[in-house]
């Protein structure tokens, strides 16, 4: 029984991983499609620069904070709390997995619709204006 439960759990997590992979592929496709437009290219470059600057700032803050003695004490407390939370939430994760997969599929489907509208906009700007009224 325990082996069967572990296999089911493992399969569910593999499905979550596949959905994240599909979402990543859809996001990449959306960016590639948006990149084809010169106006979008400028906006995406600005967004990329902003994201890189944010990542650098967060990385620097984490490095500075992790070097302090207070950080060591906090890290120990966080590890204790994390272990307690892990033990207490195992069943909740098992219950949430199917909902997470469903949500990821839904996000991916909506992203595919956006990609379709972006692709149609590149081919026919009139069609893009008509699509703006549809979700």
pLDDT in tens, 19-61: 888 888 888 887 777 767 677 667 767 777 887 898 888 888 8
Per domain, the residue ranges of the chain are: 2-131
For residue 132, the model assigns a pLDDT of 52
pTM: 0.37
For residue 97, the Cα-to-chain-centroid distance in whole angstroms is 15
Q: Please give the DSSP secondary-structure letter assigned to residue 1.
A: -
- Rg of the chain in Å (alpha carbons): 21
3 state DSSP class of 115: helix
For residue 14, the Cα-to-chain-centroid distance in whole angstroms is 16
- CA–CA dist 32, 41 (Å, integer): 10
Task: pLDDT band for 104, please (50, 70, 90 cuts).
Answer: confident
- Helix (H) or strand (E) holding 94, with range, is helix 69-123
Is the pLDDT at 135 greater than 70, yes or no?
A: no
DSSP state letters, 45-67: HHHHHHHHHHHHHHHHHHHHHHT
Tell me which residue of 76, 61, 103 sits closest to 111, measured CA to CA: 103
- CA–CA dist 115, 45 (Å, integer): 19
Is the pLDDT at 134 greater than 60, yes or no?
A: no
């Amino acid at each position: 029984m325990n082996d069967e439960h572990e296999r089911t759990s493992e399969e569910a997590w593999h499905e979550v991983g596949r959905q994240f992979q599909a979402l990543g592929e859809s996001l990449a496709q959306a960016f590639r499609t948006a990149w084809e437009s010169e106006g979008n290219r400028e906006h995406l470059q600005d967004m990329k620069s902003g994201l890189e600057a944010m990542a650098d700032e967060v990385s620097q803050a984490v490095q500075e904070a992790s070097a302090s003695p207070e950080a060591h004490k906090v890290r120990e407390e966080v590890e204790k709390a994390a272990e307690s939370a892990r033990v207490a939430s195992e069943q909740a994760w098992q219950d949430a997995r199917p909902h997470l997969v469903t949500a990821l599929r839904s996000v991916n489907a909506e992203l595919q619709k956006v990609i379709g509208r972006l692709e149609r906009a590149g081919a026919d700007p009139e069609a893009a204006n008509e699509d703006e009224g549809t979700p």
